[in-house]
């Protein structure tokens, strides 16, 4: 089990290895969990979506018409699949593997490259924004909200927040804030409302961030290929609150998973919907590792002898 150290009163997750699975994948680039506890995968090379149960047993496969890159499943159990090469996004029922809608960017200079669900938006459809689509236009990336399952990919620069350039993946903290992995850099950026993106955390142990997710305590997890580490960062919402009191330093809390836990060239990661399991797409997208999540409440001070 991965070791985590903290001061008394801090709650963090530990991880216990369960196993792995590989179903002759081409290249898995996206992963997300459904309400039923199933896991949906994007195989970019084989142009299909793969639905597996919580232990990785294949339930269904669905061929799509272009290379699926990223996906997210909302609190309403609706999946969104980005297909940047065809400038499209698919809306699907993930557990039935049924395509519900397909939206296309009509402008040649515009495409949808990634997507992130916003947690805790409720099971029923409402006026809340359920996810953000990462739309790239002329090299710049924008967070486009999906509101009441309505997808709009027009007039992007005028209507939506800019999240920067060279964004590889992003994680929606809420409908007006997101964290982004930047290609070729060892930091992540924070974008809040209409402010310019800010570099929030230069990480010495990271050189190629690949994906971001968060747990039920708001801690941020960043997968990274060069050092084979999964980094855990400070709670995003707490740091944004403290920003206004000039406490802007973001902290790497620890590295709960690394090469000693078989982490090797991870490219994507996600928790299941009840945060009882963590899945990491490993070894340059060839197989998936499964970890049980264990909650630790620290009650004793760690003293150096």
What confidence tens digit (pLDDT) does each residue in 224-261 have?
A: 888 899 999 876 555 555 554 444 556 788 899 999 99
198 in a structural domain: yes
Mean pLDDT in residue range 166-184: 88
pTM greater than the 0.75 cutoff: yes
Domain count, the chain: 1
* Three-class DSSP category at 240: helix
Structure-derived torsion over alpha carbons of residues 21, 99, 214, 244, reported in degrees to the nearest 10: 160
305 in a structural domain: no
- C-beta neighbour count of 245 within 10 angstroms: 7
124 in a structural domain: yes
pLDDT of residue 3: 46
Q: What CATH number has the domain bearing residue 291?
A: 2.130.10.10
2 in a structural domain: no
302 in a structural domain: no
- C-beta neighbour count of 4 within 10 angstroms: 18
Q: For residue 150, give the DSSP letter.
A: B
- C-beta neighbour count of 45 within 10 angstroms: 12
pLDDT surpasses 50 at 154:
yes
5 in a structural domain: no
Q: What are phi and psi of 71, to 5 degrees?
A: -150, 160
Residue 254: domain span: 11-297
4 in a structural domain: no
1 in a structural domain: no
The bridge status of strand 268-271 relative to strand 252-257 is unpaired
Mean pLDDT in residue range 139-165: 79
- Whether the Cβ atoms of residue 36 and residue 272 lie closer than 8 Å to each other: no
d(CA 209, CA 186): 7
């Amino acid at each position: 089990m991965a070791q985590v150290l903290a001061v008394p009163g801090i709650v963090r997750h530990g991880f216990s290895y369960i196993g792995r699975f590989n179903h002759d994948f081409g290249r898995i680039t996206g992963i997300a969990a459904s309400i039923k506890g199933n896991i949906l995968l994007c195989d970019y090379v084989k142009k299909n979506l793969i639905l597996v149960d919580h232990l990785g047993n294949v339930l269904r496969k669905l061929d799509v018409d272009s290379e699926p890159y990223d996906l997210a499943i909302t609190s309403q159990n609706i999946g969104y699949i980005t297909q940047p090469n065809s400038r499209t996004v698919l809306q699907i029922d993930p557990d039935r593997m049924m395509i519900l809608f397909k939206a296309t960017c009509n402008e040649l200079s515009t495409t949808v490259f990634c997507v992130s669900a916003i947690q805790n938006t409720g099971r029923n459809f409402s006026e809340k924004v359920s996810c953000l689509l990462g739309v790239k236009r002329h090299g710049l990336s924008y967070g486009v909200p999906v509101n009441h399952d309505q997808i709009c990919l027009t007039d992007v620069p005028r209507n939506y927040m800019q999240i920067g350039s060279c964004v590889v993946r992003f994680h929606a903290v809420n409908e007006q804030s997101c964290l982004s992995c930047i290609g070729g850099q060892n930091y992540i950026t924070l974008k809040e409302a209409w402010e310019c993106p800010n570099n929030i955390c230069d990480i010495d142990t990271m050189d190629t961030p690949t994906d971001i997710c968060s747990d039920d305590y708001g801690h941020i997890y960043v997968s990274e290929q060069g050092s084979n580490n999964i980094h855990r960062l400070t709670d995003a919402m707490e740091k944004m609150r403290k920003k206004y009191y000039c406490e802007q330093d973001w902290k790497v809390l620890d590295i709960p998973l690394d090469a000693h836990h078989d982490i090797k060239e991870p490219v994507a990661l996600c928790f299941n919907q009840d945060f009882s399991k963590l899945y990491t797409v490993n070894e340059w997208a060839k197989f998936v590792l499964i970890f049980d999540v264990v909650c630790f409440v620290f009650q004793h001070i760690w003293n150096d002898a």
